[in-house]
Amino acid sequence: MESTYEVVVADQEVGANGACIEVSCPNHSFLTKLVVVATSGGGVALTVDVFNSAAACDVGEGPQDSPLPATAPLYRVLPQQTGDAAGVSHFEPQGYPVFMHDNPPAPKDRKLYVLVNPTDAGTFSLSLGFRTNT
């Protein structure tokens, strides 16, 4: 049986150096929606990466490894998304497969790591949608 799951993370402070935001998600699902919008501080250009391991970015606000660790591409869930002042909106009906790579993932502790890198500081909201087959 197919079901959908959506998580919204509102009003995350993101400095000019970016932030890696931890987002709960279902394991063995498909990422079908990614929306990131500025909710204050004015719209700015940004890039967004989604990873399935904390090894790819430092969780929390602050300087992110620049460049990312050499292993980061191993954990990328979808190609890097770029956005302008309107933010990032990406929809994929078939979805991108999501499998956790942090071991061992606790049954209720499944996470994705969304790396938001704006050209200037601001507050951002995220919305991720998933499709699961259970």
Per-residue pLDDT of the chain (134 residues; tens, 9 = 90+): 678 888 888 888 887 778 888 888 877 788 889 998 888 766 788 889 999 888 888 777 655 556 678 888 889 999 999 988 888 888 888 888 888 777 655 556 688 899 988 877 778 888 888 877 64
C-alpha to C-alpha distance for 22 and 45, rounded to whole angstroms: 21
pTM score, two decimals? 0.85
Could you tell me which CATH class the domain 2-133 is placed in?
A: mainly beta
Q: Which of 32, 23, 14 is nearest to 130 (CA)?
A: 32
Where exactly are the structural domains of the chain? 2-133
